[in-house]
Chain A
Amino acid sequence: MTRRAIKGTALVGWGVLIAATQLVAGQSGTTAPAPAPVTATRSSTHWAYQPVVRPDVPVVKKQAWVRTPIDAFVLAKLEEKELTPSPDADRATLIRRSTLDVLGLIPSPEEVKAFVEDKSPDAYERLVDRLLASPKYGERQARRWLDLARYADSTGFEGDRTRPNMWRYRDYVVSAFNHDKPYDQFVKEQIAGDELAPESQESLIATGFLAGYPDNYNSRDLVQRKYQITTDMTDTVGSVFLAQTFACARCHNHKFDRISQKEYFQIQSFFANTAEVSDIKATVGPQELVFQKTQHQWEEATKEVRARREALVAPIKAEIVKYQKERYLTDSRDAIFKPRDQWTAQDRWVNHRWQSVTKGSDYEVDRYLRETTQLELEETGHTNETKVALREQYRKLGEELSKFNSLRPATGSDTITAMSELGHPDAPPTYLLFVGNHERPLDEVQPGFPAAIANGAAPQIVPTATTSGRRTALANWIASAENPLTARVYVNRVWAQYFGRGIVESVSNFGRAGRAPSHPALLDYLADRFVRDGWSPKKLHREILLSSVYRQSSEYREDVAKADPQNTFLATFPRIRLDAEQIRDSLLVASGTLVDKVGGPSVFAQVPEGLNAGNLWQASKNAEDHHRRSLYIFTRRSVPYPMLETFNMASSQEVHSQRVVTTTPMQALTLYNSDQVFEWSQALAGRVIREAGASESSQLDRLYEILYARTPDKTEKATLLSFLDSHAKVIREKGKDGKLSIALPTGVPSWDARNPLRDAAFVDLVHTVANSNDFAYRF
């Protein structure tokens, strides 16, 4: 990547940018002539587009340190920089680190003890294998994948409606990781599961990856909506699997990468015939049975009211539908008023869309009656009393119906959401759009891969009777061993999970504007090995976890701080603050309140008082739901879960590539003042008393073992004990007026012979220790 190359492409960019300004001017009355699209150069020397070649494992001086080839690659660079690697971390640090990294939770003191005392030579290997075999591994890996998939349980935008089926996709991802589904298959199912195995519910659910786009059911412009949905799918696929910023080429030829605007729309055209279907009946299992039973009860209870309501508007149904259709803008209206036998492929999509977003909308009936009554009044001077009465009756029946709302299932579903081509192989045409404006189509384009990346590969599109086969062609190309990006991108993401940054730091940008790899040979070694290992994510994790690089101590080293302040070359292990889910889930584990249940509909956990989210967040009445892993908390796009959001959880609006760490007073307020965390501290205090017995010294040991996987040193213990003495007095001060309310440990079997003031002081101590840096970081 030379400076010259950047300047060259930047010039093209500026030209087009000025054209964009012209368009803005054009919209306000004058028309700017559309310049012919510039075709990008066809060859590329950019590193990421070259085939992966297995590199030789370098020869290093300090051979004894090398446990896996990974170590040789890292050590070779260190020796080049005249740095030495750090020794292995101590056992306790290592098990806390790896358990947090692989499972997302702190280890139990028993697990720590067993590992620390295990003198067998393969103790660590067995630890790693145990971790990778735990179902919690899948939960942890799934969370990071869902970040990329911009996963949510709701549509976003103003209405932010619940998507009742999306948890199935989340569970699919958990299960894929736990069963170590080969990554190439994982990719194919998510892009084209409906085409590849339409009979398999699992494959259909996998396409929830595409179906997770933020959506606006209220849109009056269905044609624009199609374009926005297609854009989302294209950009998401490009970013997640290929680490390409295709989005930049939507409005102009890519400024940095050799992707032309034409090529961008060629990629979009793979999705041209793709539509979301959300009413596929799911195979009935226990969850579905419960859902159906509840749903059935509601249906039975409301049968009569609903029938009366329907009968009320049956005579004017057609008018209401027509009135509702008039809500849409010009070109959408053309399509939805067109008789079915005249539909084009595009009309088919628009009509499907219209049907799926207007299903059963009571609001439209009321709106129709209210607005047309008013219109008539304005025109004739008379109020249509029949309509007024009808509206009132309809409204009353609606009120009656809503009395049964509590009978409806609060979560869950018996249906699947999947992408589909609606049973038709013919796709609507895709056009190159002038500055990305869907109202300014230029030439039609056909599906194709960007030449710079494809190395001559061309799509092999085989339509079937029911589908265009386009996404299958795209998926096959992305998931092929020859694709220069797919394996590199994935191994780099996994590497970044463990070391806080990727070998390519810009994990979702392998283009020219992204970062160059710090260890190019290592990246290729991992990518090549990954493919040879049958695209097995678990083998990849295992190899990284077993490396000496991963086992290094994170202790401060002045020489490293000086020579490599960013720790790019990994002469020490990087300490990292726990992410949002690790913090919450580990507090649940520590307090002994984690409900350890895999999968199922998302839950509405407790929220702080004053959140004011109305119906969008009604905390579950089932206490179990408040203690599930964070992965299972409902993702409401407009109401991010406050505790997690504060600690930099992923945004569900678009692909979230990397968890950034920020440090804010809001985090401190959350951990110190929230009722939830304080309750967990009370439970943890109770647990410590139960498990450690009466000795305060043992209690402090136990507390530290639970939270930090170590015992307090002398200074710490002295500090803590003296705090208990002084703090009990501070608490007593509160009761000067004769009344004293205190917070006590919970779950302590007997209160006889206990000192409540000292117990209250102990709760504060536990709460404080849970707020410390040693808990919030993994070292």
Chain B
Amino acid sequence: MTYRPSRRELLLNTAAGIGGVTLSQLLPGGGLLSAPLLAAAPGEDLLAPKAPHFPAKAKSVIWLHQYGAPSSLDLYDYKPDLVRLTGQEVPASFMKGIKTSTQGGVGKLYSSKRTWKQYGQSGAWFSDLLPNLAEQADKLAFIKASKTIGATHDISVLKLNTGDLNPGRPSLGAWVHYALGSANPDLPAYVVLYSGRREPEAGSVNWNAGFLPAVYQGIAFRPGPSPILNVDRQKLMSDAQQRDSLDLLKRLNQLRAARRPDDSELRARIDSYDLAYRMESSAPEAVDVTKESAATKSLYGLDDEPSRDYGTVLLRARRLVERNVRFVHVVTGNVDVDGDNQDWDAHQELEKNHSANAKAVDKPIAGLLADLQARGLLDTTLVVWTSEFGRTSYGQSGNGRDHNPWGYTQWMAGGGVKAASTFGQTDEIGLQSVGKAVDTYDLHATVLNQLGLDHLKLTFQNNGRSERPTVVYGEVVKELLA
């Protein structure tokens, strides 16, 4: 398959946008980005809400990055043949075209130890590691032939979030923020949440704005009641005292600004202090789950120790979406596995690892889907379960699995995707994608599409070069859409 008419048509249709410099600087919604972007770009304009390219299905995205790469073969991708062949060398035909490491003993196929059942109208397979999510089966659109590049987390996580193997490109959330602006001036439009005890590895490069203006980067909301750095006023300062001081600030600034009537940047800076003042209360309020009912808390697994952390994070995600945050980027943290802190990266003792990690996320994610639906938010919220890659069908170190960028499962729900569907498949042992595969670029194109954005038209002039979120790749996966 070397020629795809639909693809070519898309490319040619945008040729005009690339040829003329002015056109390619047009923002979605027709606004003109002030060309120099050097001095005269007041913050309020950069963050103003902008219309999408075409009517959007989803208003918000919840991006559930399962850090460390869960094994599809132990969660979703049921492979009877793998059970049959377990313990045997991988037949050469399955290994064609892939480069592997041999550490830990490549070669012996390793079947899942879980029990499997079909769920819902769709009859989707789930292992017993995800009993709660399985009950939501009919909300999901599975991508069973995901593929990517890379043998290590570093580069593949970057590719998952930014589309490049090296740091520096804008993350998907930053593109969304740039394209659509903010729908709630009192909160950041692109928020990062994480579970676990510390910020995710590699940190902000995975939610940065790259060459886009820095206002579009994700803002990490940290655990606890004060989600943003410096969001609390000084300990010794009362609210009235701060308001009084800020009023003085405004007065002093206005006295001088009068000398420069045209200076919107100075005005924006005056306004930014009012925004900041409002954010001091709006940000903590947005993540304050104590106001939620006991039933809701229970739905997200807050009453159960293993799922409390991630459950709290996802409940916060829902509250943010309710408050019109555009992109909530959620990263799973480490969980306790027999006294050891581990993410999904099960090179050994996969059973223990996945049991603990699945227990941490199963109820919260199922709860999130159910809750979004109950509140009428699922239709406009796109939930994406995603990971940097999957895990191999052959074992590693006897009871673990190595990294698999060739064929793994991700899913989407809500936001106008085709519920209760499955697209794509892996080979009989679940190692490589067969037929049409979905790369991270395609996933990005599809997410953008649901937000009403054409990934080919969403461009930014970086140093004279027209850049788009999907680099030079990407295709909307139409089969996943309702």
Where the two chains meet, the residues of A that have a C-beta atom closer than 8 Å to any C-beta of B are 3, 6-7, 10, 13-14, 17-18, 20-22, 24-26, 28-30, 32, 156-160, 214, 216, 218-221, 228, 232, 239, 245, 248, 251, 255-256, 323-324, 326-331, 333, 370-372, 374-379, 500-501, 505-506, 508-509, 511, 513-515, 555-556, 561, 566, 574-577, 608, 610-614, 616, 637-640, 642, 645, 648, 651, 653-654, 657-658, 660-670, 672-675, 678, 715-716, 719-720, 723, 726-727, 730-731, 733-734, 741-743, 764-765, 767-769, 771-774, 776-777
Contact = CB atoms under 8 A, between A and B. Distances in A.
B473 A20 contact: yes
Given A17-B472, A673-B234, A610 B208 contact: no
B291 interface: no
B248 A723 contact: yes
A157 B39 contact: no
Pick the 3 closest A-B CB pairs, nearest first: A378-B398, A668-B276, A513-B464
Contacts of A24: 439, 473
A379 B398 contact: yes
A208 B8 CA distance: 44
Interface of B: 1-4, 7-8, 11-12, 15, 18-21, 35-44, 46, 97, 99-105, 147, 151-155, 157-158, 165-168, 197-199, 201-205, 208, 210, 213-215, 219, 222-224, 226, 228-234, 236-238, 240-242, 244-246, 248-249, 251-253, 255-257, 259-263, 265-266, 268-270, 272-273, 275-276, 279-280, 347-349, 395-400, 433, 436-437, 439, 463-465, 472-473
Contact of B152 (A219, A616, A773): A219
B266 A773 contact: yes
Contact of B19 (A7, A20, A375, A741): A7
A665 B208 CA distance: 17
B101 A654 contact: no
A642 B273 contact: no
A566 B272 CA distance: 23
B236 A505 contact: no
5 contacts: A13-B18, A158-B154, A500-B38, A639-B199, A734-B238
B234 A773 contact: no
Contacts of A326: 101-104
Nearest to A9: B19
Contacts of A678: 234
Given A662-B213, A773-B253, A765 B248 contact: yes
Nearest to A239: B463
A561 B262 contact: yes
B198 A18 contact: no
A772 B36 contact: no
A22 B3 CA distance: 7
A160 B202 contact: yes
Contacts of A216: 152, 154-155
A371 to B, nearest CB: 4
A25 B2 contact: yes
Nearest to B349: A374
A716 B263 CA distance: 20
Contact of A768 (B99, B154, B249, B439): B249
Given A245-B463, A577-B265, A638-B205, A375 B244 contact: no
A663 B251 CA distance: 19
Nearest to B219: A666
A666 B214 CA distance: 11
A668 B273 contact: yes
A719 B36 contact: no
Contacts of A506: 463-464
Given A329-B151, A730-B241, 16 more contacts: A14-B11, A22-B3, A25-B4, A159-B201, A218-B154, A245-B464, A505-B36, A513-B465, A612-B197, A669-B230, A673-B233, A719-B251, A723-B244, A764-B245, A765-B245, A772-B253
A661 B228 contact: no
A156 B165 CA distance: 12
B236 to A, nearest CB: 5
Contact of B464 (A378, A511, A561, A765): A511
Contact of B279 (A220, A669, A743): A669
B198 A219 contact: no
A556 B100 contact: no
Contact of B272 (A505, A665, A774): A665
Given A218-B152, A642-B229, A727 B241 contact: yes
Contact of A769 (B153, B208, B252, B349): B252
The interface centre, meaning the residue of B43, B155, B224 with most chain A CB atoms within 10 A of its CB, is B155
A505 B461 CA distance: 13
B241 to A, nearest CB: 5
A543 to B, nearest CB: 23
Contacts of B154: 157-159, 216, 218-219
A612 B220 CA distance: 11
Given A613-B198, A734-B238, A743-B237, A715 B255 contact: yes
Nearest to A668: B276
A509 B147 contact: no
A20 B472 contact: yes
A509 B203 CA distance: 30
A221 B168 contact: no
A662 B214 contact: yes
A219 B101 CA distance: 11
Contact of B151 (A221, A640, A670): A221
Contacts of B232: 673
Contacts of A219: 151-152, 154-155
